[in-house]
Amino acid sequence: MTNRLLNKVAIVTGSTRGIGRAIATLFAAEGAYVVFNSHRFDDAAAEMIATMDKDRSLFIEADVSDPASMQQLVDQTIARFGPVDVLINNAGMDVFSEPLEMTPAQWQRCFAVDLEGAWNTARSVLPSMLGKGAGSIVNIASVHGHKIIPGCFPYPVAKHALIGLTKSLGIEYAARGIRVNSISPGLIMTDNVKNWLNSCPDPAAETARQAAILPCKRIGTPEEVAYTALFLASDEARFINATDILIDGGRSQLYHE
């Protein structure tokens, strides 16, 4: 532990699994007070609660698509730990459909979580950050926000918009001490990716195939994304704003496969 976030108050949404969990765990190890979150209380949430320092962490069950719930989450955070220094908008969901077969409910839910969820939480923390004249918001976007993969509609639409939200808010509040950046992970070995690989006819072969198309010849880890979030959240990145960082092993820079 190097205390890069010593006594900072951080909210990490969607943080009982995968990338969010790695971020929340790392922030706690770096000295932050951490509020971690999920839209449901399940085994993953219970396990996370058991591993975190109860005096320096708090689990709040809330759906990011509900503005009132996000305001309550922020209010509870401030009441427990004080003004918010860092927000990591990690909560998200995959919605992949053929465009003309997609239902209105699928479209609405995708944007409610992947785009509006980030805005709901940012809107709730901004008064606290503006009040102290400092704050870092990091949105977890995706390589889908840069390159289009067929069969994944409308997820890339929401992630492109999330990167736009990042840049717009970053510029809007830059002179008032607020930084807003995003991270765009590529293929990361989360629980969801493991489940997808295990569902393939030959999981080992598919894992090897996916690794082979990456320039670094391996799949990324949640911890690698977490360390980038840590840097952006910390004062080390105080001159970085309205920027997106790709974490995809260089995959998106290839001209062809």
pLDDT in tens, 74-105: 999 999 999 999 999 999 999 999 999 999 99
pLDDT computed for residue 255 by the predictor: 80
Q: What is the pLDDT at residue 1?
A: 60
Structural domains of the chain, count: 1
Q: Is residue 195 part of a domain?
A: no
Please tell me the distance from the alpha carbon of residue 96 to that of residue 109, in angstroms, as a whole number.
Answer: 12
Residues spanned by the domain of 145: 9-187+221-249
C-beta separation of 184 from 143 below 8 A = yes
* Residue 1 is assigned to a structural domain of this protein: no
- All residues at 6 or more sequence positions from 87 whose CB lies less than 8 Å from its CB, including other chains: 10, 11, 121, 122, 125, 135, 136, 137, 138
Q: Is residue 68 part of a domain?
A: yes
Position 76 scores a pLDDT of 98
- 33, 155, 173, 255: the catalytic one is 155
Identify the CATH number of the domain in which residue 119 sits: 3.40.50.720
Is residue 137 assigned to a domain?
yes
- Distance (Å, rounded) from C-alpha 174 to C-alpha 10? 19
Please check whether residue 230 is in contact with residue 27, taking contact to mean a CB–CB distance below 8 angstroms.
yes
Does residue 87 lie within any of the structural domains? yes
pLDDT digit string, tens, across residues 181-219: 999 999 999 999 999 999 999 999 999 999 999 999 999
Is 203 inside any structural domain? no
User: What per-residue confidence (pLDDT) applies to 191?
Assistant: 92
Question: Does residue 155 have an active-site annotation?
Answer: yes
Asked if residue 212 belongs to a domain, the reply is no
pTM: 0.96
Give mean pLDDT in consecutive 10-residue pieces for the chain, a chain of 257 residues: 92 97 98 97 96 97 98 98 98 95 96 98 98 98 94 96 98 98 97 94 96 95 98 98 97 82
Q: Is residue 236 part of a domain?
A: yes
